Amino acid sequence: MHNSILLPPLEALTAMLAAGRFGSFSAAAGELGITHGSVSRRVHAVESWLGTPLFVRHGRGVRLTPAGEHFSRQVELALSKIDEAALDLRAARATPSRLHLSVLPSFARLWLMPRLPDLQRAFPGVMLQVLTEHRVAHLDGNDVDVAIRFGDGRWPGTDAQLLMKERLFAVAASKLAKTLRGRDPTAIMTETLLHDSDTQQWRTWCKHAGIPYKPRNGERRFDDYDLVLSAAEAGLGVAIARWPLASAALNPRWALFHAVPR
């Protein structure tokens, strides 16, 4: 249990800051709409609480002591943080309803972000908060409201809706694509295959091409699917383009074979 912290009243701290800012109890009183005596009493309360004088009286004004200058700066910082926290809370109440959407990083970069402005304009009353993550999203209402993932949609405890169907293309950089285009699909299997942690796309493509998929040394794996496409563009091997997810990232000259349904 935290110990209780006894602080001087906020009005006393405000009077101290005003007196330090104007260099005069009378000017501080005019700023705050109170009497000179009230400012003096409030400043004295802070000094008594600290156990040290905060002002040096001279002529018709006052000047902060070194201790007063240091303490005033710290109080201003503390009050500024309180003000910022209050502004954040007020802004959160004033903003539209938030919908937390969990997606894979590659999906966000390749498909969602280019469409996000139109989506936001279509639903101005909802602020879409995009969370990019690889983990399995927990749709318990605490951190994620909706998740977009690849799969057959049979996930326990979820209400899954089909967003899009995929078609798969084998793709490569232009030079390699020209070499392989029109040849037997088995020729591709002699090249370096590029994929992310999931080999299902290559397995599906091979199944429809009528050739076996056999993992072998030399395949290149990447954490995110958009890196797979970047590797293909750089000429590092052959990748599977997932249409329409990869549509904006692909040059049509990359395609080697007709698409197969996914």
Q: If we measure between CA atoms, which residue out of 122, 128, 126 comes closest to residue 96? A: 126
Q: Please identify, among 112, 147, 182, the residue that sits at the C-terminal boundary of a domain.
A: 147
Considering the domain architecture, whether residues 108 and 183 belong to the same structural domain is answered as no
> Is 1 among the domain residues?
no
> Is 257 among the domain residues?
yes
Q: Please identify, among 116, 147, 178, the residue that sits at the C-terminal boundary of a domain.
A: 147
Give pTM, 2 decimals. 0.57
Considering the domain architecture, whether residues 132 and 185 belong to the same structural domain is answered as no
In angstroms, the Cα distances linking 130 to 20, 104, 142, 202, 252 are 46, 10, 14, 29, 30
> Is 143 among the domain residues?
yes
Q: Provide the domain limits for residue 215.
A: 167-261
Domain harbouring 76, CATH code = 1.10.10.10
Q: Please identify, among 93, 117, 132, the residue that sits at the C-terminal boundary of a domain.
A: 93
The pLDDT value recorded for residue 4 is 61
- Residue 198: exposure state from Cβ atoms within 10 A (0-12, 13-18, ≥19): exposed
**CA atoms in the 13 A half-sphere facing the CB of 1:** 2
> Is 160 among the domain residues?
no
CB neighbour list of residue 231: distance below 8 Å, 6 or more residues apart: 194, 220, 222, 237, 239
Considering the domain architecture, whether residues 36 and 80 belong to the same structural domain is answered as yes
Considering the domain architecture, whether residues 187 and 115 belong to the same structural domain is answered as no
Considering the domain architecture, whether residues 142 and 214 belong to the same structural domain is answered as no
Considering the domain architecture, whether residues 184 and 102 belong to the same structural domain is answered as no
Question: Structurally, how many domains does the chain consist of?
Answer: 3
Considering the domain architecture, whether residues 196 and 120 belong to the same structural domain is answered as no
Could you tell me the mean pLDDT of each successive run of 10 residues in the chain, 262 residues long?
Answer: 72 94 93 94 95 90 94 94 84 71 91 91 86 79 82 83 89 89 87 90 90 83 91 92 83 61 50
The pLDDT value recorded for residue 28 is 92
Considering the domain architecture, whether residues 15 and 75 belong to the same structural domain is answered as yes
> Is 193 among the domain residues?
yes
Considering the domain architecture, whether residues 117 and 138 belong to the same structural domain is answered as yes
Domain harbouring 114, CATH code = 3.40.190.10
Considering the domain architecture, whether residues 128 and 174 belong to the same structural domain is answered as no
The pLDDT value recorded for residue 1 is 44
